[in-house]
Structures are given as structure tokens and as C-alpha cells.
């Protein structure tokens, strides 16, 4: 089966790996140039961790961990008001986890398909024509090709989804937050601790990367607006929103790059179906959870794996394959989206009273006895992974 995958991120590369392994011919069209771009840290556990183990890439992922072993919550003066250490985190996540750069996961996945799968960088789809026996695709460079199946793995703002299912506004559920992040020198001297500083309506998070002396600063603030902010205005917007903020925030804002600054709303994607004809969606394109779930990359890998498995189990019937794939994964994604929404409501309290309550709750929650409660929000098991059709 010849499968075009639009998007060479976590979901797309995982899908390509397993399709190739099952004897299919995946082709990946990735809009970005080759090589890592920007980046942020992720917690990686559960289903994605298990798939990485099955791919034999765990060791390579573990080679480049973020240098953070604990999470601290601080007040404006830098005094620690709560701490979450690794043993407690592992209990919450029900098993091992890795903290790594998203770019590391993508790079290791790209290596896993190198020399086996055709990956076309700086390429994206412009038009899709569904037919009885295949799907015709016209690319941005005006060339056209025929494939058996088109997989949309092009993220939360998926172009494939727009072409095959309609405008993003129909499927987007905004959670009322905007986030932004960029690399900074380790000016706060926080070494190996991921540090959260919260104020009413806004939060600043600083954590070390896998490179000594470089950290990532992440800003997360309440925001009703859903408009995409032009790149040239992003640093200025952050300075306005964080005016008068405490802790190290002013120094961190002063480091904002004028060019590339990753900024987006926290948006979940909800679609009534994840496939239409010969087009199926995986990862954030159909089930974006947002960063508040800490499970997006893991479930994006699950999407790639389960779709490849279903196409292998039903090689001549993509409708049956899509139904199988969706039946396995959708309930997990829907439940996780719901929990993420409920968690997000308390993520950045809007008022002083809410903020004070959150500090108290954080202190109480970060205890062994409350692990089951935290597990409900963040834990994941690998029970959705089937005895695979792929050998
Ligand atoms: C700040 C932040 C923190 C996060 N923290 C965590 C965490 O702790 N744990 C976790 O599991 N998840 C986390 N996530 C979520 C996780 O990163 C995503 O859920 C995951 O990357 C989704 O994978 P994906 O492959 O579906 O989409 P993406 O990773 O977005 O990949 C999509 C790919 O498609 C490409 N593309 C886009 N448009 C086109 C087009 N038109 N044509 C061709 N290619 C295109 C993009 O360049 C990209 O390579 C976080 C996200 C953010 C932003």
C-alpha cells in the first residue's frame, strides 16, 4: 500500500516507521526544512514510552535527557513553596518516564526511518481529490501524485484536515490560554530544577534543556482571544501581558527573540470522525490535547502505531482499518481531553483568592498519599496497544 503522510512530526514519523516495517510504502511530506527547529521539553511516558521500547529507540532517547529531576513551585522572592521529586512523578505516571526535548524525540524518530522511508522536506499538500481506488494529491509545487491512502499528521493546525474535513474553526475548542516559549541562557542559576512561578492569570516556567547553560522559558497566561498573533508582535505582547510580574520574569522577557518565538493558543481538536474516504487523521490533527495533558506526544505515537497496525490488518479495506483504528484510540483521547480541560481550569487561577487556594492545594497534593488522585489526571497505561498485526 502506498501511503502519503502529511507531516513528519511525532505521529507522522511513527506511522511511517510501522507502515514500512509492515511492508507498505509510506512517503512523508514535511513542510519544514530538515533538522531540528526551536523546541520545548516534554514529559514522555505511558503508551508512547512503550511504543518507543518496541521500536528499540528508548536508549537513544534516554541519552539526551533534560537535566531536571524535580519540579519546584516558587513565590516572587524565589522561595520554594512546593516540590515534586522524581520517585513521586513515577508513581503518578505509573511507571518510567523520560523528560526530553521534543526535538530529540523527532530527531530519533527521523533516524529510525532514515534510508528506509522517503521524507520530502519543504513539501506540503495543496489539493486532495478522493477517488474510488485512491486519493490524488496536488502538492504546493504543483506536482500531482496518486496514493492509496492519505494520512494527515500535520498537527493541531492541520492542512489535511482543512482540505478533507473543513475549516479549523469547526473543530477547535479553545481552553482560554496562550503559551509561548523560547531558549534562554540559565540566568536564574536554577541548575537541574524545573521551576514554576505563578501569579493570578499568568505563569512563568523555567527549565533546563539537555545542553548545559541553556534553559527554556515558557509563559502560560489566561487569554480569551483566539486570534493568531503575528510573529513580529509576539515579544511585545508578552511584555504587555507580563508587565509588573515578579521573580525572574522581567530578565527572561528581556531575552525574548525578535524573530522565531513559538506562541499559540491552547486548543483541543474534536471531530465527529477521524477519517473521510481514503483520508485519516492522527496525532494533534484529530485529537490535540494541549500541553496541559503532558500526553500529546505519547498519544500521537499511539495514533501512528495503531493506524499502521489497522492498515496492516485490513490491507484491502481502508474503511475497516480506519474504523478499527478509531475504535481503539478515540475513547482514550476523548477521556484524556476531558480530564485535561478540567485540570486546565485550575492551571492558572484568575484571581488572588484562586491563586492562594492553588498554592495550598499544590502543597497538599504533592504528597505520597494523594498519588491516586494525581494518577487520575496524568497516569496512563499501555492497555490500548494491541497484540500487533505488525511483525
Ligand atoms: C510547549 C509544549 C509542551 C508540551 N508538553 C508535552 C509533554 O510534556 N508531553 C507530551 O506528551 N506532549 C506535550 N506536548 C504536546 C506534543 O508536543 C504534541 O501533542 C505532539 O507533538 C503532537 O504530535 P503530532 O505529530 O501530531 O504534531 P506535531 O508535533 O505538531 O507535528 C506536525 C508536523 O507536521 C508539519 N506540518 C505542519 N503543517 C504542515 C503542512 N501543511 N504540510 C506538511 N507538514 C506540515 C510540522 O512541521 C510538524 O513537523 C507539548 C506541546 C507544547 C507546544
- With the most atoms of ligand 1 within 8 angstroms of its CB, the residue from 61, 291, 303 to mutate is 291
Distance CA 26, CA 37 (A): 23
C-beta of residue 126 within 8 angstroms of C-beta of residue 150? no
Residue 120 in contact with ligand 1 by CB distance below 6 A: no
Q: Give pLDDT, residue 294.
A: 86
Section 281-286 average pLDDT: 98
- The protein residue whose alpha carbon is closest to atom 48 in ligand 1 is 9
Residue 180 in contact with ligand 1 by CB distance below 6 A: no
C-beta of residue 3 within 8 angstroms of C-beta of residue 26? yes
Residue 380 in contact with ligand 1 by CB distance below 6 A: no
- In this prediction, residue 112 has a pLDDT band, given cuts at 50, 70 and 90, of very high
What separation in Å is there between the alpha carbon of 8 and the centre of ligand 1?
10
What separation in Å is there between the alpha carbon of 364 and the centre of ligand 1?
33
What separation in Å is there between the alpha carbon of 248 and the centre of ligand 1?
28
C-beta of residue 360 within 8 angstroms of C-beta of residue 82? no
- Give the tens place of pLDDT for each residue, 72-108: 889 999 998 888 777 776 666 566 788 899 999 999 9
Residue 126 in contact with ligand 1 by CB distance below 6 A: no
Q: Give pLDDT, residue 87.
A: 72
What separation in Å is there between the alpha carbon of 140 and the centre of ligand 1?
21
Residue 100: phi and psi, rounded to 5, are: -150, 170
Residue 304 in contact with ligand 1 by CB distance below 6 A: no
Q: How far is CA 163 from the centre of its chain?
A: 22
Looking at the CA of residue 290, tell me the nearest atom of ligand 1. Answer: 15
Looking at the CA of residue 14, tell me the nearest atom of ligand 1. Answer: 25
Residue 369 has pLDDT above 80, yes or no: no
To the nearest whole percent, how much of the chain has pLDDT over 90?
A: 68
C-beta of residue 304 within 8 angstroms of C-beta of residue 5? no
Neighbouring residues of 159: CB distance < 8 A, sequence distance ≥ 6: 6, 124, 125, 152
Q: Which has the higher per-residue pLDDT, 314 or 348?
A: 314
Q: Give pLDDT, residue 260.
A: 77
What the block records as the C-alpha cell of 151 is 494520512
Distance CA 63, CA 311 (A): 33
What the block records as the C-alpha cell of 252 is 527572561
Looking at the CA of residue 42, tell me the nearest atom of ligand 1. Answer: 8
- Give the 3-state DSSP-derived string for the chain, with helices as H, strands as E and coil as C: CEEEEECCCHHHHHHHHHHHHCCCEEEEEECCCCCCCCCCEEEEEHHHHHHHHHHCCHHHHHCCECCCCEEEEECCCCCEEEEEEHHHHHHHCCCCEEEEEHHHHHHHHHHHHCCCCEEEECCCEEEEEECCCCEEEEECCCCEEEECEEEECCCCCCHHHHHHHCCHHHCEEEEEEEEEEEEEECCCCCCCEEEEEEECCEEEEEEECCCCCEEEEEEEEECCCCCCCCHHHHHHHHHHHCCCCCCCHHHHHHCCCCCCCEEEEEEEECCCCCEECCEEECCHHHHCCCHHHCCHHHHHHHHHHHHHHHHHHCCCCHHHHHHHHHHHHHHHHHHHHHHHHHHHHCCCCCCHHHHHHHHHHHHHHCCHHHHHHHHHHHCCCCCCCCCCCCC
What separation in Å is there between the alpha carbon of 300 and the centre of ligand 1?
8
Residue 298 in contact with ligand 1 by CB distance below 6 A: yes
Looking at the CA of residue 284, tell me the nearest atom of ligand 1. Answer: 26
Q: Give pLDDT, residue 24.
A: 97
- Give the tens place of pLDDT for each residue, 53-74: 999 999 999 999 888 778 888 9
**Which domains, from first to last, does the chain contain?**
2-66+98-171+268-349 (3.50.50.60)
Section 216-228 average pLDDT: 93
- In this prediction, residue 378 has a pLDDT band, given cuts at 50, 70 and 90, of low
Residue 40 in contact with ligand 1 by CB distance below 6 A: yes
What separation in Å is there between the alpha carbon of 122 and the centre of ligand 1?
17
- With the most atoms of ligand 1 within 8 angstroms of its CB, the residue from 10, 287, 288 to mutate is 10
- Give the tens place of pLDDT for each residue, 148-193: 999 999 999 999 999 999 999 999 999 999 999 999 998 767 768 8
Residue 30 in contact with ligand 1 by CB distance below 6 A: yes
Distance CA 291, CA 296 (A): 7
Residue 275: phi and psi, rounded to 5, are: -140, 155
CA distances from 273 to 66, 69, 268, 326, 334 (A): 37, 40, 15, 8, 12
Residue 159 in contact with ligand 1 by CB distance below 6 A: yes
Q: Which residues pair with 120 in a beta bridge?
A: 29
Looking at the CA of residue 6, tell me the nearest atom of ligand 1. Answer: 43
Distance CA 331, CA 270 (A): 12
Residue 295 in contact with ligand 1 by CB distance below 6 A: yes
- In this prediction, residue 29 has a pLDDT band, given cuts at 50, 70 and 90, of very high
Range scoring the smallest mean pLDDT among 217-226, 252-261, 349-358, 360-369: 360-369
Residue 145 has pLDDT above 90, yes or no: yes
Distance CA 348, CA 24 (A): 46
Neighbouring residues of 196: CB distance < 8 A, sequence distance ≥ 6: 71, 72, 73, 74, 203, 204, 205
Mean pLDDT (the chain) is 89
- The protein residue whose alpha carbon is closest to atom 3 in ligand 1 is 291
Q: Give pLDDT, residue 354.
A: 77
- In this prediction, residue 387 has a pLDDT band, given cuts at 50, 70 and 90, of low
- Give the tens place of pLDDT for each residue, 320-329: 999 999 999 9
- The protein residue whose alpha carbon is closest to atom 27 in ligand 1 is 155
Amino acid at each position: 500500500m502506498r501511503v502519503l503522510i502529511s507531516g513528519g512530526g511525532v505521529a507522522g514519523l511513527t506511522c511511517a516507521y510501522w507502515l514500512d516495517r509492515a511492508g507498505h510504502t509510506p512517503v512523508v511530506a514535511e513542510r519544514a526544512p530538515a533538522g531540528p527547529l526551536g523546541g520545548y521539553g516534554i514529559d514522555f511516558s505511558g503508551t508512547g514510552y512503550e511504543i518507543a521500547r518496541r521500536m528499540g529507540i528508548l536508549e537513544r532517547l534516554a541519552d539526551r535527557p533534560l537535566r531536571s529531576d524535580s519540579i519546584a513551585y516558587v513565590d516572587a522572592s524565589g522561595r520554594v513553596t512546593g516540590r515534586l521529586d522524581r520517585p513521586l512523578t513515577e508513581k503518578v505516571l505509573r511507571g518510567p518516564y523520560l523528560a526530553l526535548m521534543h526535538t530529540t524525540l523527532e530527531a530519533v524518530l527521523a533516524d529510525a526511518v532514515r534510508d528506509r522511508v522517503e521524507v520530502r522536506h519543504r513539501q506540503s499538500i495543496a489539493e486532495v481529490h478522493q477517488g474510488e481506488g485512491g486519493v490524488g494529491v496536488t502538492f504546493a509545487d504543483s506536482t500531482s501524485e496518486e496514493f492509496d491512502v492519505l494520512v494527515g499528521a500535520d498537527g493541531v493546525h492541520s492542512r489535511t484536515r482543512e482540505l478533507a474535513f473543513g475549516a479549523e474553526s469547526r473543530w477547535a475548542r479553545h481552553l482560554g490560554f496562550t503559551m509561548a516559549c523560547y531558549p534562554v541562557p540559565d540566568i536564574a542559576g536554577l541548575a537541574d530544577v524545573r521551576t514554576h512561578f505563578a501569579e493570578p492569570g499568568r505563569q512563568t516556567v523555567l527549565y533546563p534543556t539537555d545542553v548545559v547553560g541553556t534553559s527554556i522559558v515558557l509563559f502560560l497566561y489566561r487569554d480569551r482571544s483566539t486570534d493568531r498573533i503575528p510573529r513580529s508582535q509576539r515579544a511585545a505582547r508578552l511584555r504587555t501581558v507580563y508587565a509588573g510580574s515578579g521573580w525572574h520574569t522581567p530578565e527572561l522577557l528581556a531575552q525574548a527573540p525578535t524573530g522565531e518565538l513559538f506562541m499559540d493558543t491552547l486548543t483541543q481538536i474534536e471531530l465527529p470522525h477521524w477519517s473521510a474516504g481514503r483520508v485519516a487523521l492522527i496525532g494533534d490533527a484529530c485529537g490535540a490535547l494541549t500541553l496541559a495533558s503532558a500526553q500529546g506526544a505519547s498519544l500521537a505515537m499511539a495514533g501512528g502505531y495503531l493506524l499502521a497496525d489497522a492498515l496492516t490488518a485490513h490491507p484491502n479495506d481502508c474503511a475497516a482499518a480506519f474504523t478499527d483504528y478509531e475504535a481503539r484510540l478515540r475513547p482514550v483521547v476523548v477521556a484524556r481531553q476531558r480530564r485535561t480541560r478540567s485540570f486546565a481550569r485550575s492551571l492558572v487561577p484568575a484571581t488572588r483568592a484562586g491563586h492562594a487556594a492553588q498554592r495550598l492545594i499544590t502543597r497538599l497534593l504533592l504528597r505520597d498519599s494523594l498519588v491516586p488522585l494525581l494518577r487520575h489526571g496524568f497516569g496512563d497505561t499501555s492497555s490500548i496497544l494491541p497484540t500487533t498485526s505488525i511483525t
